[in-house]
């Protein structure tokens, strides 16, 4: 059977453990430095603890070191990689090709989505370089993924849920251009979530003060069967800045969804061990989201962006039927609670919110009655009771175990065999009195062995074989069970260790002789790598240049011409086809260029 991996983000040790407990087959977490979320670095001690915990379930821990590195950082990065390998990290996610020229330990390498894994030719190049896995661009459609799978053998990873970068990954320089904070260095200021005007070359305002580049969040939960059938081996959830509650809800939702698919498609199975039983019903609409989209998975669709707000809208719950002096009457099929956060769009299409101070049937008493109007649609962006349930729930993922207890000639032999056929065995030599009530004694033995407590194991079956039923004290049985399960845990962790396979880094011919600043080369080792691949001319990376005027600072499949019904493929007049468009904010004016053949939009600085 083919193993399919559910990959979840980890902001820190706490969220990493939550992701594992609620069904992730692997997690990705930031190293102390050099990760694409500079605010989500972690200590080596915490990473080591997470690795140990994950390996109990045969789950994996991938370390993100997917920023581009300056020359003075290369030695520090190389030493860090060796430390991570020694701690048992399962793979390293990288963007900077300079890392490939380091003296690397035998650690698995994954090509970050930041390496711009959009075109087949680029992906084939990275496969020949020696990457074990390539994380595909989020803009790819199902048919494009199938074509990539058809022409490659490398492992393929694909995002299925979470926030979307509007730019092709690794090709966004907007944040650095306007404020010196490089997205490729993990310091993105999210210029895409800001307000802009859209104007033409005659000064006509097409859109005013809109979040024109702010995409909705990705949700491909309705397409998981197609994704696994397409050849994707790892389904990735975005969110390395999200908290434990988010991870519990979203991870368990996708875990349950995938398990349902595996029950029907027997050729697939999950990539790690254990079963989750959350104490709540997962619902992705309830946690943080800007509205959902399938993006380009099924081809170009309308309204992939939310022009009105970059904030969380939550779940649509109904409409306002009446507005009274101190309360509103709502039409909703959902039960509302004190403490809920509700929001709505006012007449100016601005998102406004209020807290529920009281509920009487369909009467809602807000803490602020301002701007509430009859007929307005309501969204719940903070479900108070659901949030409480998430925080309270501390489910532990359980691995099924069977106990076999043999008692003969004063020898007690306890064997534990788990769902992966891993076994542990404890023997003690001790004489016990025969039980006066054999039936009661057997029942007590099973009762004590059944207690797995807060361990990662769940005892599914107990078989007892003996020549005579002994009376064994509960403490003795508890010690025996504990020792056996501790040994089983250690054996599982040891079995999770992968065979060493040194990355076979090669230098295949690069598809071009020249590399622009979009190659993101900012150190000598990256230059060395590309020169070995036949590149003759390399432009310094965007971050090393002082003059950015006229440069493309974003390339995106999100096309504003298309969104506003101005697609050049559909326009009728030459004037419309040649009409220039600009994004304008408080400080700058950015020219838009359109590559209709590739269905892409570019934003030009200056």
DSSP secondary structure string for all residues of 76-142 = HHHHHHHHHHHTT--EEEE--GGGGGS---S-EEEE-GGGT--SHHHHHHHHHHT-SEEE--TT--H
Q: What is the mean pLDDT of the chain?
A: 94
How far is it, in rounded angstroms, from Cα 71 to Cα 73?
A: 5
Strand pairing category for 377-382 and 341-345:
antiparallel
> What's the average model confidence in pLDDT over 371-376?
92
What pLDDT was estimated at residue 36? Answer: 65
Q: In the predicted model, is pLDDT for residue 441 greater than 70?
A: yes
Residue 468, pLDDT score: 86
Q: If you average pLDDT over residues 393-417, what whole number do you get?
A: 93
Rounded CA-CA distance 215/170 in Å is 17
Residue 499 has pLDDT above 80, yes or no: no
How many other β-carbons are positioned within 10 Å of the β-carbon of residue 225?
15
Position 290 scores a pLDDT of 95
Domain 2-164+216-270 coded CATH 3.40.720.10: no
Fold of the 313-392 domain: Thrombin, subunit H (2.40.10)
470 or 19, which is more confident?
19
How much is the pLDDT for 387?
A: 95
Stretch 459-478: mean pLDDT, rounded? 91
- Look at 15 and 433; give whichever has higher pLDDT: 15
- Strands 234-237 and 155-162, bridge-based pairing: parallel
Strand 377-382 and strand 399-408: the pairing is unpaired
According to the model, what pLDDT value does residue 576 have?
Answer: 64
pLDDT band of residue 351 (cuts 50, 70, 90) is very high
Quick check: 569 pLDDT over 80?
Answer: no
CA angle 322/343/341 to nearest 5° reads 105
Q: Phi-psi region for residue 245, left (φ > 0), alpha (ψ -120 to 50) or beta?
A: alpha
Chain segment 14-61, per-residue pLDDT in tens: 999 999 999 999 999 999 988 767 666 799 999 999 999 999 999 999
Residue with the larger pLDDT of the pair 571 and 42? 42
**Please, where in the chain does CATH 2.40.10.170 lie?**
313-392
Which segment of 139-153, 157-171, 397-411 scores lowest on mean pLDDT?
Answer: 397-411
Reported confidence tier of residue 163, pLDDT bands at 50, 70, 90: very high
Whether pLDDT at 467 is above 90? no
Q: Give the pLDDT score at 567.
A: 85
The reported pLDDT for the residue numbered 430 is: 83
Comma-separated ranges of CATH 3.20.20.70 domains in the chain? 2-164+216-270
pLDDT computed for residue 498 by the predictor = 72
Q: Is the pLDDT of residue 218 over 70?
A: yes
Q: Looking at residues 306-315, what average pLDDT do you find?
A: 94
Give this prediction's pTM: 0.95
Q: Please report the pLDDT score of residue 504 as a whole number.
A: 77
Q: What is the distance between the terminal CA atoms of the chain, rounded to a whole angstrom? A: 54
Q: Which pLDDT belongs to residue 521?
A: 98
Average pLDDT over residues 236-240: 95
| Predicted confidence (pLDDT) at residue 571 exceeds the cutoff of 70 | no
């Amino acid at each position: 059977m083919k193993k399919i991996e559910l990959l979840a983000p980890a902001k820190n040790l706490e969220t990493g453990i939550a992701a594992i407990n609620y069904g992730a087959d692997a997690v990705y977490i930031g190293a102390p430095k050099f990760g694409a979320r500079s605010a989500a670095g972690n200590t080596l001690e915490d990473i080591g603890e997470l690795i140990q915990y994950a390996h109990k379930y045969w789950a994996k821990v991938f370390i993100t070191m997917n920023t581009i590195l300056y020359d003075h950082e290369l030695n520090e990065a190389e030493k860090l990689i060796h430390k991570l390998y020694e701690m048992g990290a399962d793979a390293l996610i990288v963007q900077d090709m300079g890392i490939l020229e380091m003296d690397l330990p035998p650690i698995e390498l994954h090509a970050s989505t930041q390496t711009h894994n959009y075109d087949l030719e680029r992906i084939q190049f990275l496969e020949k370089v020696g990457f074990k896995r390539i994380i595909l661009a989020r803009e790819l459609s199902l048919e494009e993924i199938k074509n990539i799978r058809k022409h490659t053998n490398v492992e393929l990873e694909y995002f299925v849920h979470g926030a979307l970068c509007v730019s092709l990954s690794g090709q966004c320089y907007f944040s650095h251009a306007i404020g010196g904070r490089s997205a490729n260095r993990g310091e993105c200021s999210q210029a895409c979530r800001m307000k802009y005007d859209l104007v033409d070359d005659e000064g006509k305002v097409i859109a005013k003060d809109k979040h024109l580049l702010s995409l909705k969040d990705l949700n491909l939960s309705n397409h998981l069967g197609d994704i696994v059938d397409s050849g994707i081996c790892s389904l990735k959830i975005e969110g390395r800045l999200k908290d434990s509650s988010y991870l519990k809800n979203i991870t368990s939702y996708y875990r349950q969804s995938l398990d349902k698919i595996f029950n029907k498609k027997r050729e697939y199975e999950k990539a790690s061990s254990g079963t989750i039983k959350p104490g709540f019903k997962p619902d992705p609409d309830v946690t943080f989201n800007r509205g959902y989209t399938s993006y380009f998975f099924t081809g170009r669709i309308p309204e992939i962006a939310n022009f009105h707000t970059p904030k969380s809208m939550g779940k649509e719950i109904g409409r306002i039927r009446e507005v009274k002096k101190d309360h509103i009457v709502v039409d909703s099929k959902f039960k509302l609670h004190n403490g809920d956060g509700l929001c709505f769009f006012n007449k100016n299409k601005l998102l406004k919110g209020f807290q529920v101070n009281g509920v009487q049937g369909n009467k809602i008493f807000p803490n602020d009655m301002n701007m509430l109007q009859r007929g307005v649609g309501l969204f719940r962006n903070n479900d108070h009771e659901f949030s409480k349930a998430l925080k309270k729930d501390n489910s532990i993922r359980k691995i099924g175990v069977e106990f076999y207890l043999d008692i003969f000639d004063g020898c007690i032999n306890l064997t534990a065999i788990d769902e992966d056929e891993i076994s542990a065995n404890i023997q003690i030599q001790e004489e016990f009195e025969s039980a006066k009530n054999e039936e009661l004694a057997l029942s007590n033995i099973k009762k004590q062995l059944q207690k797995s407590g807060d361990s990662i194991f769940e005892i599914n079956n107990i078989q007892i074989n003996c020549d005579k039923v002994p009376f064994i004290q509960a403490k003795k049985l508890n010690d025996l069970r504990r020792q056996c399960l501790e040994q089983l845990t250690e054996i599982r962790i040891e079995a999770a260790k992968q065979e060493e396979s040194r990355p076979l880094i090669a230098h295949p011919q690069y598809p071009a002789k020249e590399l622009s600043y979009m190659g993101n080369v900012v150190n000598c080792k990256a230059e060395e790598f590309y020169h070995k691949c036949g590149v003759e001319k390399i432009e310094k990376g965007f971050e090393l240049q002082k003059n950015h005027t006229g440069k493309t600072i974003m390339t995106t499949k999100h096309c504003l011409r298309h969104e506003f019904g101005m697609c050049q493929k559909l326009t009728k007049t030459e004037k419309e086809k040649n009409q220039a468009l600009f994004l304008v904010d408080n400080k700058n004016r950015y020219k838009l260029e359109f590559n209709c053949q590739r269905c892409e939009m570019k934003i030009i600085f200056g």
